[in-house]
């Protein structure tokens, strides 16, 4: 799966945007996780989702926004002057974990995932403890009888071929509960966006001029 999993490459205008935006995002040291173009009245919203191992701050968002805006402005003559809103953001906590880098960046967090050979998958909930070439190791809570003493989590290596899309589980620490780490607000990727309104730029229509 490519870095830009959300790009609809069958759409010529979006694919053209991706060709300009992906190199700029990569040169800045980020992965382009998603590129979505959505019509909004007489303009369109160009949503760019970026991430990296070190995480993404608001300053990073502003840096990428400037770089993407500049490349779109440079290609303005070749794209037409259809108004657009550029929105650059980091992935939200609800983003499915589908790539090795997604799992690696969430090491230590509790996830839910369907795992196992095709036709015999089971739903697992466990904490990511390691991400390797062979797969992902999860600390899965051992199943026991109601009222029985809670047993420690058991490590389970799930090969990549048997691993579905994971979902991070939001955790809240109860008073006096030190059994797990609290995921603080700063740890959860927020949908913080830098928006540029009423900009002239990307042609978001087919080559024949039709609206997308």
Q: Are strands 82-89 and 43-51 parallel, antiparallel or unpaired?
A: parallel
How many angstroms separate the first and last alpha carbons of the chain? 25
Place of tokens 């303005």: 76
C-alpha dihedral, 75 to 81 to 83 to 89, nearest 10°? -10
pLDDT over 70 (residue 21): yes
What average pLDDT does this structure show over 61-90? 82
Reading the block at residue 173, the tokens are 């620490």
Distance between CA atoms of residues 44 and 198, nearest Å = 10
Instruction: Give 120-175 pLDDT, tens digit per residue.
Output: 999 999 999 999 999 999 999 877 667 767 778 899 999 999 999 999 998 875 44
For the chain, domains (ranges, CATH) are 12-92+189-201 (3.30.300.70), 100-181 (2.30.30)
Distance CA(102)–CA(208), nearest Å, equals 38
Residue (of 143, 135, 149) closest to 103 by Cα position: 135
Residue 186 has pLDDT above 60, yes or no: no
Q: Provide the pLDDT confidence category of residue 39 given band limits of 50, 70 and 90.
A: confident
């Amino acid at each position: 799966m490519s870095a830009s999993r959300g790009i609809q490459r069958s759409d010529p205008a979006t694919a053209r945007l991706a060709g300009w935006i992906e190199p700029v995002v990569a040169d800045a040291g980020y992965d382009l996780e998603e590129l979505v173009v959505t019509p909004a009245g007489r303009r369109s919203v160009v949503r760019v989702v970026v991430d990296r191992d070190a995480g993404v701050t608001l300053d990073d968002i502003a840096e990428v926004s400037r770089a993407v805006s500049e490349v779109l402005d440079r290609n303005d003559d070749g794209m037409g002057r259809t108004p657009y809103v550029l929105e650059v953001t980091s992935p939200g906590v609800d983003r499915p974990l589908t790539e090795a880098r997604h799992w690696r960046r969430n090491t230590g967090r509790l996830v839910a995932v369907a795992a196992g050979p095709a036709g015999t998958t089971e739903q697992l909930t466990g904490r990511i403890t390691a991400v390797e070439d062979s797969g992902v190791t999860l600390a899965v809570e051992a199943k026991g009888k109601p009222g029985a003493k809670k047993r420690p989590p058991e490590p389970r290596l799930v090969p990549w071929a048997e691993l579905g899309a994971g979902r991070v589980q939001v955790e809240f620490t109860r008073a006096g509960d030190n059994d797990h780490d609290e995921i603080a607000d700063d740890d959860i990727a927020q949908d913080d966006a830098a928006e540029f309104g009423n900009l002239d730029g990307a042609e978001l229509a087919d080559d024949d001029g039709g609206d997308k």
